[in-house]
Structure 1
Amino acid sequence: MSAPLARRVPRGVAPASWFLLFAAAASAWVLTVRSASGMAPGPGTMGQGLWGFLVLWGLMMAAMMLPSVAPVVALYLRTVRARSAGWVRAGRSTGLVIGYLCAWEAFGLAAFGAAWAGGELAAGAPDAAPWVGALLLAGAGLYQLAPLKDRCLRHCRSPLGFLMHFGGYSGPLRDLRVGLYHGAYCVGCCWGLMVVLIVVGVMNLAWMAALAGAVFLEKTWRHGKGFSVVLGLALIGYACFVPWHPALAPGLYTAPGMPM
């Protein structure tokens, strides 16, 4: 988010919204790290069924994505002119964040299927799995260079027109709806990076932290668009090594002695 947009937010609203979202993200990180305790990165769904996986996925998305949505929440509070009591502002921003996370939770259904398929591939076709991982990583890198990625990233970096349009909506679910729409654009922007997370192991904390930082830079840094291109090229380069070093893609690799 550019500095001029941040300056349009009323005094006191931006710092409060940033602080609360970063605090929520930090709490989600703590819970995620505890969930991953003793769990080495590996293929499959972490031994979870669908509902257990979705709970963990929701925690992961809150940890990784909430910092990057903080500028949007602050700007939204400006566009809807929420200058009344603090609880009103908190309620409106909470509705947006819930809608945003619901969009990522919906993507979690696809992530569950992909993680399950990755586990089956690693167990049933270990020789082919690294090549599939390389193709997925290269595809994620190429998507970083694609026009659709650029369009979604432009929305995430400069959503003022979008928020002003939906800021006029009424009804009890208006904020939830705004969050869902913005979340859909964010999924369109970042789904390739989540595919990377599945390839390297869903609970791979090091990669989670790296990808969370990459998403934040893409959306908030003034050189974010260029960074997105460099990241895409780096993923393509990384993919070239995976077929000969399968352990680089632990989400599709079962190490000797690892339980199946």
Structure 2
Amino acid sequence: MTTLTPAPARPRRPGAERPVVTVWVAVLVALCWTCLLFRTARMGAMPAALDAPLPPPYRRAELALLFGMWVATVWATMLPATTPSVVLFARVNRLYHAVRRPYLATALFMFGYLFSWTVFGAASTLAQWALHDAGALDNALAVTNSTVAGLALVAAGVYQWTPAKQESLAHCRAPLAFVLTNWRRGPWGAFRMGVTHGRYCVGCCWLLMVLLFAAGLTNLAAAAGLALLAMAEKLAPGGAWIATLGGLALVAWGTLLLFP
């Protein structure tokens, strides 16, 4: 870790990094949503026979597609909420000139963040593989057992109230202290900082993303709703209260499924 000290001033337009980073994120998120729309449309066109109780095991190509869907989903859902953190990292690069190529370091910070979510996507792929082979998923890749779906909703709602959730959310809402006190020089240092920041975000929202097992990985409305909730928690005033109220709503929804 390195303590930052301001570098000699250089003529550079204030705030120049914001539009650049915003375009990066917008393009990447748009690509992810495009992939999801295309893949969902393809799966929707498949014959209804795939709803058989015991579907055939996944082959290597199908596992790769499933992993790609999970990665695209978590990137599209979580990246918009962390845009201010990426902008902040780019701004610190501009003000302190701690690296030779500030935009390269910013890109590596962002992809370090996404790497943490990619690991989550890999774990989710393995879990979905096991559920598929057990015949526990429908054609939308959702768990068919309403009791399991209800328990997932209740667990996600309760987690919203835990200290672990609140601590991770506090980090995501105010990353300035992390950036300034955990600064690491060089491209590899930027990537490592992104991974660490991503771990906090995974700790904040992992159980929300697990709800896609209940809603279905191809349920784009559910993914969009989770993206909006994550943005509200991390960016809106009173995000901690939004998380608490969201948890209450999830517990109530899950209870209705458990006791119809």
TM-score when normalising by structure 1: 0.79
* Contact kept in structure 2, 1:21 and 1:66, CA below 8 Å: yes
- State how far apart, in whole Å, the 2-side matches of 1:195 and 1:142 are: 14
Structure 2 letter corresponding to 1:12: A
Match of 1:37 among 34, 38, 41: 41
Structure 2 letter corresponding to 1:179: G
1:5 counterpart residue number = none
2:150 counterpart residue number = 134
Check if 1:79 corresponds to 2:79: no
- State how far apart, in whole Å, the 1-side matches of 2:93 and 2:191 are: 14
- State how far apart, in whole Å, the 1-side matches of 2:19 and 2:240 are: 25
Higher Cα radius of gyration: 2
* 1:207-226 → structure 2 map (5 Å cutoff): 207-226=222-241
* Contact kept in structure 2, 1:99 and 1:180, CA below 8 Å: yes
Structure 2 letter corresponding to 1:133: A
- State how far apart, in whole Å, the 2-side matches of 1:76 and 1:178 are: 10
The CA RMSD over aligned residues, in Å, is 2.9
- State how far apart, in whole Å, the 1-side matches of 2:258 and 2:129 are: 21
1:164 counterpart residue number = 180
State how many pairs are aligned.
Answer: 230
* Contact kept in structure 2, 1:115 and 1:202, CA below 8 Å: no
* 1:18-33 → structure 2 map (5 Å cutoff): 18-33=22-37
* 1:3-18 → structure 2 map (5 Å cutoff): 10-18=14-22
Give the secondary structure class of the aligned counterpart of 1:173.
helix
Q: Residue by residue, what CA displacement relative to the aligned partner does 1:5-63 show, whole Å, maximum 9, x if unpaired?
A: xxxx94222233223212321221112111111435x999x967443322222211221
Q: Residue by residue, what CA displacement relative to the aligned partner does 1:160-205 show, whole Å, maximum 9, x if unpaired?
A: 11111232x2243111101100000000000011111121111210
1:258 counterpart residue number = none
Runs of 5+ in structure 2 lacking a partner? 1-12, 45-50, 138-142
2:136 counterpart residue number = 122
Structure 1 letter corresponding to 2:216: G
2:5 counterpart residue number = none
Runs of 5+ in structure 1 lacking a partner? 1-8, 246-260
Check if 1:203 corresponds to 2:218: yes
Structure 1: 4+ residue segments shifted above 6 A: none
- State how far apart, in whole Å, the 2-side matches of 1:94 and 1:128 are: 40
* Contact kept in structure 2, 1:142 and 1:236, CA below 8 Å: yes
Q: Percent of aligned pairs with the same residue?
A: 33
TM-score when normalising by structure 2: 0.79
